Structure 1
Amino acid sequence: MKALMIQGCGSNVGKSLLVAGLCRAAKRRGLSVAPFKPQNMSNNAAVTVDGGEIGRAQALQALASGLAPHTDMNPVLLKPETDTGAQVVVQGKRLTTVRARDYSALKPQLLASVLESFTRLKAAHDLVIVEGAGSPAEINLRRGDIANMGFARAADVPVVLAGDIDRGGVIGQIVGTQAVLDPEDAAMVAGFLINKFRGDPALFDDGYRLIEARTGWRGFGVLPYFLGAAKLPAEDALDLGGATAGGPLKIACLALSRIANFDDLDPLKLEPAVSLTMVRSGDAIPGDASLVILPGSKSTRGDLAFLRQQGWDIDLAAHVRRGGHVLGICGGYQMLGQCIADPDGIEGEPGETPGLGLLDVTTVMTPDKRLTRTAAVHAATGTLMEGYEIHIGRTDGPDRTRPFAHVEGAPEGACSADGRVTGSYLHGMFTTDAFRAAFLARLGAPSTATYGTSIETTLDALADHMEAHLDVEGLLSLAR
């Protein structure tokens, strides 16, 4: 019953992949291992076996560990709703919504839930590998911290600090972090590693030795950039590429300002016959797109206003007139209807917003959130698909008589009369190979990818990559 924590010198230094790789390496050694992240901020959530939600990265780490995702793996999840406020999810369930400035007052009472979840995981497994959030160098946030050194000291977990050489200044990242840490926090650090190196690692030998000499910390290696990372589900919307080089079927997805659960796109990115483009602020929807996807959103009415600000409503109307297809998923499905009503102000100010009018349905926001894994049958092809639902709101209207799918015999989603505009609350549908093949075939493209196998193969390759370049045995031996 041991634990080890990977913290980073900043956000997006690769902590999530490092933990996933270590989990797979530990699993291959015959250990029962589980991932843990005390606090995460992400709108890309996964539904767990116990009916809650956690960050998508922890779900991937659970897969690397050979486990089903559980709410204990990420007891505090922050889901941004505005630039200054976020929904707080504790052990899988919504607790409240707070402004950023008020969150610090809430953190002390969250530590008990964090430690409770950690204790349960530690009791159930040989090893728990913990991922920090952001950087411990953000000492302005140290008071009441539950994500980095505050947790490490409360739970007595040794820390390895990861620096990102790809962004430059990695010597300053690591040495500077030690310089600003409280001595008792710095004492929790057992060593460091360098991530995302490109080129000849020998060129960094002098820098590596300098870090060791300046900090007194043990180095655990220099990890070259892992090219396979693009094949694994991304958690941060910043990691979504602009376009994938692929085949003749052009699919465009709108990069909404509060895009959520965009893992729907991951299986499509792996299809050789598909070219997937993220349409970002200021860009027009490509005129040659066969399919436009409206993804999920953490703030549906807010993102509908954002969509109109970009002129995408005009582009969508032209796309449909040209005979193009549209798929709205969750919040995107709600946007396609006639209106979205939020009488109780659940997602913001109370009110009603006209929809895009591409489906004859209306949505009313409700306080109850539906969180469930779902198996369904695609109405158009009769193909079984598996996914999950994570949404608030009820949608109904005449186009629901033409459902997108059936769940236990009941209609789900809606289709326009010509079948070109469809909407569904089912996230993750494209992970089912047979359904994805049937869906793409209707658009004239073959499917050759096997998504689940690809993810498993890539996780094994990640572990191999880390074993070849890092002292993995030494890292795992630090756990206590």
Structure 2
Amino acid sequence: MNNPFPALMVQGTTSDAGKSTVVAALCRLLMRRGVTVAPFKPQNMALNSAVTADGGEIGRAQALQALACGIAPHTDMNPVLLKPSSNTGAQVIIHGKVRAEMDARDYQQYKTIAMGAVLESYARLRQQYAAVIVEGAGSPAEVNLRARDIANMGFAEAVDCPVILVADIDRGGVFAHIIGTLACLSDSERARILGFVINRFRGDISLLQPGIDWLEQQTGKPVLAVLPYLQGLFLDAEDAVEAMQTERGAFKVLVPQLPRISNHTDVDALRAHPGIDLQFIQQGQPIPPADLVILPGSKNTRGDLAWLQQQGWPAYLAKHLRYGGKLLGICGGFQMLGLSVCDPLGVEGDAGESKALGLLDMVTELTAQKRLQQVRGHCAFAGAHDARVAGYEIHMGVSQGAALLQPAFMIDGRPEGAVSGDGQILGSYLHGMFDTPAACSALLRWAGLDSGHTVDTAALREASLERIADAALPLLAALEQIKR
């Protein structure tokens, strides 16, 4: 049987239980069988996003899942995206475009409207594809969010979609997570759960079997699969900064872990490079010497700039540059390198202006209109190497000043970014610059590492998708058995 379920929803007992990975694995398995399949996440809250071919913005996990399906990412795959800008507020993106900035209470009321967008997108995908694999958000056990739910069981009930429940055994308490989740559901919601997936297991499976037997007896539902803990996967993180097991190299790269860090996947290629030791520096952590410092993207540039200043980064960067270190700013990090960042409309928080790091002669004004575009070009800073680059832009700011007269890139025939007169500082709005091997090599040469080693992120990502699909074969077989 090629396609056991035309629609199937993967929910989790907790955030980061492995829902995104299980969805990607099922998508790849169905694609292997010739089934036309698409991913779908009704509502996503994430600061890692991707630009689609239709000029919209979706969660990066859904772009990865589209790759697993062998199709181009589309805004219908993630019709509602929430990008937190504070502890209580977020930018609300509907069908790939910014709709409003809302606090949590207002958004709770807005969900009724958002559900309309969700059902529209889902209906279009069901018409176009033989199978749609749906990812839930967080956990269906969050009883405080049950009213107007569009992300988990509220959606599953609305479209009458079967559900599998994923739990992460690596964090402990897997049986309590499953039993507790079921206890928080209504009778009809429990009834639509086909069974459970125990994720990230390592050890002797025979020692787990008594627990599986007990769980199945208690719930009357099967454990569909026990998936292994897979080391060294190269898959785009949905949001949280995740550890990657790699050998530590001699070339030191530091990235401040901003409170509202955005698209930190920009540095994944460097994390996978055997010659690089990349560290995210958290609040209060001592800042060690480095060869290269990267200021990453931010969903709240002025707020994260204030955090940098509070953490002592300006003094550190002055010393770093004085001793010949290199500094790269990406998107929000690029804006921080200038003289000031002004937000007259309050698009990222309170309206106002902040003094920036003063390292590049430019000023930035945040605007209501967001630039969303996939781009290609070459590295202007690379000279005779003429390295090609590809990536995407996601930003709401416009930068102006003399620093831009010496661009970092030429993108689609236009100058982009800036390089300081002494060549030590480079800034750009371009996300994904390290994902093109030629551009990655050129950037590392500029930073002081000419190792000759290239990281092909596309190949690493593809190999990881194949690994997780192979591991999920027992899950697909179990789903086929249920269908029979």
> Within 1, Cα distance between the matches of 2:483 and 2:54?
28
Task: Provide the alpha-carbon RMSD of the alignment.
Answer: 1.5
The one-letter amino acid of 2:472's match is: M
The match for 2:89 is: 85
1:464 corresponds to 2:470: yes
CA-to-partner distance for each residue in 1:375-423, whole Å, 9 max, x for gaps?
Answer: 1211122211000000011101111111011123221001111011110
**Distance in structure 2 (CA, Å) of the matches to 1:184 and 1:47:** 37
Alignment of 1:306-317 (within 5 A): 306-317=307-318
Given the alignment, which residue of 226, 232, 236 partners 1:233?
A: 236
Q: CA deviation at 1:199?
A: 0.8
Partner residue, 1:330: 331
Partner of 1:40: 44
Contact persistence 1:377–1:406 (CA under 8 A): yes
Alignment map for 1:323-402 (pairs within 5 Å): 323-381=324-382, 382-402=386-406
Counterpart selection for 2:72 from 68, 74, 85: 68
Aligned partner of 2:450 among 445, 452, 459: 445
Q: CA deviation at 1:7?
A: 0.4
CA distance in 1, matches of 2:61, 2:6: 21
SS of 1:162's equivalent? strand
- How far 1:118 sits from its partner (Å)? 0.6
Q: Give the whole-Å Cα distance in 2 for the aligned partners of 1:432 and 1:449.
A: 9
Q: Quick one: which amino acid aligns to residue 292 of structure 1?
A: V
Q: Would the alpha carbon gap of residues 257 and 271 (structure 1) be closer, same or farther in structure 2, given more than 3 Å must change?
A: same
Q: Deviations over 1:181-224 (max 9, x none)?
A: 11111111111110111211111101111111111112212111
The residue aligned with 2:110 is: 106
What SS does the corresponding residue of 2:167 show, helix, strand or coil? strand
User: Could you tell me which amino acid in structure 2 is paired with residue 37 of structure 1?
Assistant: K
Partner of 1:148: 152
Aligned residue identity for 1:279: I
How does 1:285-300 map onto structure 2 within 5 Å?
285-287=287-289, 289-300=290-301
- SS of 1:167's equivalent in the other structure is coil
In structure 1, what is the Cα distance between the partners aligned to 2:387 and 2:49?
Answer: 25
Q: Deviations over 1:280-338 (max 9, x none)?
A: 11123321x11100000000000000111111111111111111000000000000000
The answer to whether the 8 Å contact 2:23/2:135 transfers is yes
Distance 1:392 1:180 in 2: 40
2:51 is equivalent to residue 50 of structure 1: no
**Which one is further off, 125-134 or 266-275?**
266-275
CA contact (8 A) 2:241 2:264 kept: no
Farther-moved stretch of structure 1 (148-157 vs 341-350): 341-350
Question: Structure 1: 5+ residue runs without aligned partners?
Answer: none
Equivalent residues of 2:404, 2:416 under 8 A apart: yes
Scaled by the length of structure 1, what TM-score is found? 0.96
2:221 is aligned to 217
1:350-380: per-residue Cα shift (whole Å, max 9, x none)?
A: 1110110111111011111000001121112
**8 A Cα contact 1:252 1:291, kept in partner:** yes
Measured in 2, the distance between the counterparts of 1:479 and 1:167 equals 31
Residue from 269, 277, 282 that aligns with 1:267: 269
Runs of 4+ in 1 over 4 A off after TM superposition: 476-480
**TM-aligned CA deviation for residue 228 of structure 1:** 3.3
Q: Summarize the Cα distance change of 1:35–1:476 in structure 2 as closer, same or farther, 3 Å threshold.
A: farther
Q: Is the 8 A contact 2:260 2:300 kept in 1?
A: yes
Deviation at 1:479, TM superposition (A): 7.7
> Retained in 1: the 8 A contact 2:101–2:347?
no
Which letter maps to 1:466?
A
After superposition, residues 149-228 of structure 1 pair within 5 angstroms as 149-228=153-232
Deviation at residue 144 of structure 1 after TM alignment? 0.6
2:404, 2:481 → 1: CA distance? 57
Distance (Å, rounded) in 2 between the aligned partners of 1:201 and 1:354 = 57
Does the CA-based 8 Å contact 1:364-1:394 persist in structure 2?
A: yes
| Matched ranges for 1:108-127 at <5 A | 108-127=112-131
Residue of 278, 281, 300 corresponding to 1:279:
281
Give distance in 2, aligned partners of 1:190 and 1:464. Answer: 21
**What amino acid is aligned across from residue 347 of structure 1 in structure 2?**
E
Aligned equivalents of 2:9, 2:197: Cα separation in 1: 13
Unaligned runs of 5+ in 2: none
Contact 1:36/1:118, CA 8 A, preserved across alignment = yes
Matched, 1:257 2:259: yes
Query: By how many angstroms is 1:248 displaced?
Result: 1.5
Q: C-alpha separation between the residues in 2 aligned to 1:453 and 1:376?
A: 21
In structure 1, give the amino acid aligned to 2:450: A
* C-alpha contact 1:234 1:240 (8 A) present in aligned 2: no
Once residues 225 and 120 of structure 2 are traced to their aligned partners in structure 1, the CA distance between those partners, rounded to angstroms, is 33
Question: 2:415 aligns to what?
Answer: 411
State the TM-score, normalized to the length of structure 2: 0.95
Distance, in Å, in 2 between the alignment partners of 1:366 and 1:206 is: 58
CA distance in 2, matches of 1:169, 1:260: 31
Separation of aligned partners in 1, 2:421 and 2:90: 38
